[in-house]
């Protein structure tokens, strides 16, 4: 093989682990930063991540693991960020190496809570990284199925087609197909919004609504997503492509979805706090709801589902009443 | 209440039973034709259908049951047909009363195998019923959830808005919301095509594909459906409305779906014959596939999913190989 791109993954969770696994199918060396020294030792010895996505077998001989983010950032040209959005800022604060000349791909499906920005915009505004050096890796893709090597399709978006292609090539294998897109803003908003709709699906389920209603909710959600994204970044896009509709469906319908689980608990009467305590992982949709609500208030998009979820999660409204009202706004 | 419309339901299966239940919420008398004298006696005594949708409680005092289709047809102005499409022609052959002046609504989600036409077209061509007197009742709606009185949304389509409204009013209740549409052809094709995509989803599941792939399949299916319907009847429609996308999702994702179950058996290696023998009900998608394939060959729509299902069900192709080929055509 010719000279390989120098790619590192930032983050030690399930999705980071899945991406590392994909990369090991093509690259001889992958940088991988995670906080836990213990996890690093475990991976080196046992070829799998002890806490997240345990079932994914990873060839540790190809990994350049480090618990020092600065070492990893300094050594690699392309950084794939896959930490939960709530931890991004605190991770970036550790940096004393410049990011300016790096190529940044975000595999974070959420909004940066501190700035209310999607990840690409955050890197652009806070670190002066031009959009040409920013990209997004998006599903529909549950990490769990990557571990099982079940066929999955990824969309890689960047304004620079060459960079999208390069990452696409590094990720694809017999169980991963990749597609490139130039809609970096739209795919990233879709990845964030779908988590809110998955929370909504969970709340509805928890309240006792059935499959018939669920399909109406998803059919309204994709129309709402289209309206929202159009207000944020107008361009020609087919909202029914896998990166938008597919990503919504895999999250809204799947038992793996943490956002759906979180919503389900809310629908069953848990408070936000107790639901969050019960779950060991953070539901991205919780933060996404707050930001999306704010954006929607500014741009005036008609988004009854986001509104209902916001009212339940942040305005202390009764889920049952709020969703009853919502049913009259759907069709 | 003022003068009520004279509505009868033709058919004794699950969906017919669900529709009758909806009508009992609004009307004092509903005509109901079914073949089985035994079932009729059972319903009169026990307020539920013995074989289909047993869990639905129906107020039998409001029912004008008959096993004579001619009696029912002669007595009522509006006929809602809800027999499996494969039995429609044999039921209609029993008729010696004219249909010409009747208003016909189809709740049949399929194609008439003998003519290859959707039900509305069949009544129009074979019985000279003008399209103004024809309508469609479509989901997303599993009969099982109607029995449970879980909130469901129906779309009622007709060229004559007044008739659609009238049926919508007769069906709606605290657990049924209705919406009207003028896209009688599009909604009926959608109701038929979604069964093919549910068979495809089942085959994929049976072959071992996971949720990630399923979401890609559905995202491609809705785009394929849009292309197909556009070729058949071009008009402005939002394919993401509940009658199209919602109906696709409820069928493709739900455990209640017979089409998905049928596909699943095929994916697991059953022959078409053995799968059909194993299931007590007919999977509409089986017949729909043949007709849709023929239509698609005539109009040239790009429909790789229909093609793959056709090849497996009718051209004796290996499901595993055929779906492997299909995965390369999806994105």
- DSSP structure string for A102-152: -EEEE---SEETTTTEEHHHHHHHHH---GGGEEEEE-S--HHHHHTT--E
Question: pLDDT value at position A2?
Answer: 58
Query: Is the Cβ of A55 closer than 8 Å to some Cβ of chain B?
Result: no
Q: Do domains A7-182 and A186-327 have the same CATH topology?
A: no
Query: Is the Cβ of A174 closer than 8 Å to some Cβ of chain B?
Result: no
Asked if B150 and B175 touch (Cβ cutoff 8 Å), the reply is yes
How far apart (Å, rounded) are the C-alpha atoms in residues A245 and B288?
25
How far apart (Å, rounded) are the C-alpha atoms in residues A213 and B150?
8
- What is the mean predicted confidence (pLDDT) over A272-289? 87
Chain A, 15 to 54: residues with Cβ < 8 Å from chain B are none
Chain A, 84 to 143: residues with Cβ < 8 Å from chain B are 139-142
Mutate to test the interface with A, among B204, B214, B219, B245 (most CBs of A within 10 A): B219
Asked if B5 and B27 touch (Cβ cutoff 8 Å), the reply is yes
Which tokens sit at A240? 């029914």
Instruction: Report CB contact under 8 Å: B150, A220.
Output: no
Catalytic residue among B194, B268, B294, B329: B194
> SS3 of A86, please?
helix
Instruction: Report CB contact under 8 Å: B215, A250.
Output: yes
Asked if A137 and A156 touch (Cβ cutoff 8 Å), the reply is yes
* Residue B330 with chain A: CB contacts under 8 Å: 153
CATH 1.10.1040.10 is right for the domain spanning B186-327? yes
* Residue A213 with chain B: CB contacts under 8 Å: 150-153
Tens of pLDDT, residues A308-323: 999 999 999 999 999 9
Q: Is residue A256 scored above 90 in pLDDT?
A: no
Question: pLDDT value at position B2?
Answer: 58
Q: Give how far B94 is from chain A: nearest CA, Å.
A: 35
How far apart (Å, rounded) are the C-alpha atoms in residues B21 and B97?
26
Query: Is the Cβ of A249 closer than 8 Å to some Cβ of chain B?
Result: yes
Instruction: Report CB contact under 8 Å: B177, A219.
Output: no
Instruction: Report CB contact under 8 Å: B331, A246.
Output: no
CA distances from A216 to A219, A262, B222, B307 (A): 5, 20, 15, 28
Residue with tokens 């202390």: A316
> What's the helix, strand, coil split of chain B in %, to 5?
55, 15, 35
| HSE-CB of A49 using CA atoms within 13 angstroms | 27
Instruction: Report CB contact under 8 Å: A151, B209.
Output: yes
CA distances from A306 to A65, A228, A287, B260, B266 (A): 39, 10, 12, 31, 40
Class of the CATH-defined domain B7-182: alpha beta
| A194 a catalytic residue | yes
Q: Going residue by residue through chain B, which has 331 residues, state the pLDDT in tens, using 9 for 90 and above.
A: 458 999 999 999 999 999 999 999 999 999 999 999 999 999 999 999 999 999 999 999 999 999 999 999 999 999 999 999 889 999 999 999 899 999 999 999 888 988 889 999 999 999 999 999 999 999 999 999 999 999 999 999 999 999 999 999 999 999 999 999 999 999 999 999 999 999 999 999 999 999 999 999 999 999 999 999 999 999 999 999 999 999 999 999 987 788 999 999 999 999 999 998 888 767 889 999 999 999 999 999 999 999 999 999 999 999 999 999 999 999 9
* CB nearest to B151's CB, from A239, A245, A327: A327
Report residue A116's pLDDT band, with 50, 70 and 90 as the boundaries: confident
Nearest-by-CA chain B residue for A208? B150
Instruction: Report CB contact under 8 Å: A208, B150.
Output: yes
Annotated binding site of A for NAD(+): 87, 143, 258
Query: Is the Cβ of A218 closer than 8 Å to some Cβ of chain B?
Result: yes
Tell me the domain boundaries of chain A.
7-182, 186-327
Please give the ipTM for the structure prediction: 0.95
Report residue A1's pLDDT band, with 50, 70 and 90 as the boundaries: very low
Instruction: Report CB contact under 8 Å: A241, B331.
Output: yes
Asked if A301 and A292 touch (Cβ cutoff 8 Å), the reply is no
- Which residues are CB-contacts of B93 (< 8 A; sequence separation ≥ 6)? none
Q: Give how far B239 is from chain A: nearest CA, Å.
A: 9
Residues paired with B63 in a beta bridge: B30
pLDDT above 90 covers what percent of chain A? 91
Residues paired with A178 in a beta bridge: A154
* Residue B148 with chain A: CB contacts under 8 Å: 210
How far apart (Å, rounded) are the C-alpha atoms in residues A249 and B254?
13
Instruction: Report CB contact under 8 Å: B246, A216.
Output: yes
């Amino acid at each position: 093989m010719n000279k390989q791109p120098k790619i590192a993954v930032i983050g030690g969770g399930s999705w980071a682990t899945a991406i590392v696994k994909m990369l090991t199918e093509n690259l001889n060396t992958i940088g991988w930063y995670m906080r836990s020294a213990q996890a690093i030792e475990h991976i080196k010895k046992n070829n799998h991540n002890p806490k997240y996505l345990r079932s994914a077998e990873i060839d540790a001989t190809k990994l350049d693991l480090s618990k020092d983010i600065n070492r990893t950032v300094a050594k690699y040209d392309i950084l794939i960020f896959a930490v939960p959005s709530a931890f991004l800022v605190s991770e970036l604060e550790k940096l004393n190496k410049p990011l300016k000349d790096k190529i940044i791909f975000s595999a974070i499906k959420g909004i940066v809570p501190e700035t209310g920005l999607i990840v690409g915009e955050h890197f652009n505004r806070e670190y002066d990284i031009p959009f040409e050096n920013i990209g997004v890796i998006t599903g529909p893709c549950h990490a769990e199925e990557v571990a099982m090597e079940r066929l999955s399709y990824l969309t890689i978006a960047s304004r620079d087609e060459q960079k999208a292609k390069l990452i696409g090539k590094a990720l694809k294998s017999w169980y991963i197909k990749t597609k490139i897109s130039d809609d970096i803003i739209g795919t990233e908003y879709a990845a964030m919004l779908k988590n809110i709709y998955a929370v909504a699906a969970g709340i509805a389920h928890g309240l006792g609504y059935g499959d018939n209603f669920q399909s109406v909710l998803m059919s309204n959600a994709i129309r709402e997503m289209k309206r929202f994204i159009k207000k944020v970044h107008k361009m020609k896009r087919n909202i029914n492509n896998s990166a938008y509709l597919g990503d919504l469906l895999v999250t809204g319908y799947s038992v793996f979805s943490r956002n759906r689980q979180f919503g389900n608990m809310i629908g069953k009467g848990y408070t936000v706090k107790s639901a969050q305590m019960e779950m060991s992982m953070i539901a991205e949709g919780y933060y996404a709801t707050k930001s999306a609500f704010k954006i929607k208030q500014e741009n005036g998009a008609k988004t009854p589902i986001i509104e209902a979820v916001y009212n339940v999660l942040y305005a202390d409204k009764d889920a049952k009443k709020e969703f009853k009202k919502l049913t009259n706004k759907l069709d």
